[in-house]
A and B are shown apart, each in its own frame.
Chain A
Amino acid sequence: AQSVTQLGSHVSVSEGALVLLRCNYSSSVPPYLFWYVQYPNQGLQLLLKYTSAATLVKGINGFEAEFKKSETSFHLTKPSAHMSDAAEYFCAVSPFTGNQFYFGTGTSLTVIP
């Protein structure tokens, strides 16, 4: 069975500070992992994805995530938060076979000026 846990439904950071959004997955096989961002009143946009290539994945808007199999984690980071990063972030997992996504409950990121 696949599942995703996002720790912290709300995260606040100051502008210019490090952003760290946590995601842990449960999967019986090495999965594919994704981070999506949702801006207010918009659909989900792919930030980055892990598909068993490099464990450190770089995405759009300066975000990156590291796949750590030993910790079953795929945390999202950005060195310096920008006001425009304020949004809802979703971690998702998909098994090797089949395309069904399992989404986490989301983390709302607030950036304080």
Chain B
Amino acid sequence: DSGVTQTPKHLITATGQRVTLRCSPRSGDLSVYWYQQSLDQGLQFLIQYYNGEERAKGNILERFSAQQFPDLHSELNLSSLELGDSALYFCASSVDGPTYNEQFFGPGTRLTVL
């Protein structure tokens, strides 16, 4: 158990809909990262938040957005869903300090868009 929690575990929805994925980082970790894992694209970095502020952006679509709240949990919002958005979405967290820190991954949310 990494200490990172993600809800829900599974999500099934229809095209055009909007969903919210939630992530709670490990206690004490200030950074949260979101990744998308699909069969054709592999593991892709979407976005990073540090202590409530966006720090780095990867291959995140404009239809997707994220935020990190004062209690450090994070939400990833996916809108106007398409079939191709079906994937595993992982959240990771790290302490983040002057030296490099590893990322701890949650169990993921499996999104199926029908």
Contact = CB atoms under 8 A, between A and B. Distances in A.
Interface of A: 32, 34, 36, 42-46, 49, 51, 90, 94, 96, 98-103, 105-106
A49 B100 CA distance: 10
Interface in B10-60: 31, 33, 35, 42-45, 48, 55-56, 58
Contacts of B31: 99
9 contacts: A43-B108, A45-B2, A45-B105, A98-B56, A99-B56, A100-B45, A101-B103, A102-B45, A105-B42
B56 A103 contact: no
The 4 closest A-B pairs by CB, nearest first: A43-B105, A44-B105, A103-B43, A32-B100
Given A96-B100, A98-B56, A103 B45 contact: yes
Nearest to A96: B100
A102 to B, nearest CB: 7
Prevailing SS type, chain B contact patch: strand
Interface in B88-114: 90, 92, 94, 96, 99-108
B95 to A, nearest CB: 10
Contact of A100 (B2, B58, B106): B58
Contacts of A43: 2, 4, 90, 105-108
A96 B48 CA distance: 16
Nearest to B110: A41
A44 B25 CA distance: 15
A8 to B, nearest CB: 14
A13 to B, nearest CB: 22
Given A51-B99, A94-B100, A103 B106 contact: no
Contacts of A100: 45, 48, 56, 58
B42 to A, nearest CB: 5
